Chains A and B, each alone.
Chain A
């Protein structure tokens, strides 16, 4: 059994919160630069150029790329041969508190959804823990802004809706989102599982490198087809017209019930953030 002190978790989460918000993940940065070169519509190209400049300024000055520094979504893959000394959940929240306070990130969390008083330190995090083989602890922090989160949708389709129903649902979600989620978007799509599993798959799909396709050729082809169709809508950067409506898209699937076809589309923006560390 390998011992990891909870204070190391706090330290890692704090660092990851700041780095994720100030340094755009390399895959997203590359996709943004590539889009600027490929965009055929001049006004859209100009917006993409400004977004690339913004990313450079944030990196250089160590400033948040976007003022919505998000809710801190934390994924922990805990090796089953790891023992964490101390309170893990408290350690994660202490990391968020430290990162958002000392790192001058915006505190965007209210403690109760209806009575709405700001918690003042961006806690609590949304924490997903998964037990995996091994003696390591992998932490991923994915701060999520709500301009895009609000545009996400989940639908319990029926088996009869099939592939065509899934495509319609994804395209409709993108059209409904339009200019609101700060396009160019990144889309995480979950298909299968049950009501809560499909939402988590969609969120996890946002962590996958944009340069990488689904290992299953069937879904790789579907990812490419959907991305091409989304980039035919004309929404474009900021919704002001252009080809670059989405920078990338990933599908994650899970086995599901004979009666169901759950689909979730987690909409994200051009500042799709994620940073990981393994302890």
Chain B
């Protein structure tokens, strides 16, 4: 069954999700990649106000291609999440409740996701032309000088995602690979 969810995410939303669940996500999310994460964490260290809200919010690790005329956004898909792991626990501590990316996370992030709690979704890496149609609005809200790495506020409509790591530490990569190997090796 595919579950429909809207941002901001509540604590209950997050706690009810399990690794491997399929989700269609709608509502506002914020893009941030490596350079934006560095600035966000530096701002937190200095006690400055952040250019985006974190409480209950979702960050999408993505930098879209430029927007063609007559469209809401260019091609957009996830970037590799693990590069953000050095910065992620600090954001989770401030109430960040969801992340969208691709690939695995490191142990400190998985642990912080259980402590606060939060969920990590995987979008299909490389399916960027198709997923562009799930974004209905895009606006740069901070760090414009970073170009593709600026922070953008996106409005999503039914972006297809898989819960990759849940707030209990469940891991869809390990589960999926085990399920395939079990099917292959079944007598």
Contact = CB atoms under 8 A, between A and B. Distances in A.
B179 to A, nearest CB: 6
Nearest to B183: A41
Main secondary structure on A side of the interface with B: loop
B148 A239 contact: no
Contact of A147 (B102, B132, B160): B102
Interface in A146-202: 147, 150, 178-182
A67 B130 contact: no
Interface string B71-85: 000111101101000
Contacts, number: 151
Looking at chain A, what size class is its interface with the partner chain?
A: 35 or more
Contacts of B131: 54
A269 B180 contact: no
A50 interface: yes
A239 B104 contact: yes
Looking at chain B, what size class is its interface with the partner chain?
A: 35 or more
Contacts of A236: 176-177, 180
B180 A65 contact: no
B77 A66 contact: yes
Given A54-B129, A179-B103, 14 more contacts: A51-B124, A57-B129, A58-B75, A65-B129, A66-B75, A66-B77, A66-B128, A69-B65, A104-B66, A108-B148, A116-B35, A147-B79, A239-B103, A241-B177
Interface of B: 35, 62-68, 74-77, 79-80, 82, 102-104, 122, 124-132, 146-149, 160, 162, 172-173, 175-181, 183-184
Interface of A: 40-41, 43-44, 47, 50-51, 53-55, 57-58, 61, 63-69, 104-108, 116, 118, 120, 147, 150, 178-182, 234-236, 238-243, 269-271
Kindly list the 6 A-B residue pairs having the minimum CB-CB distance in the complex, ordered from nearest: A241-B176, A182-B125, A241-B180, A180-B103, A58-B129, A240-B176
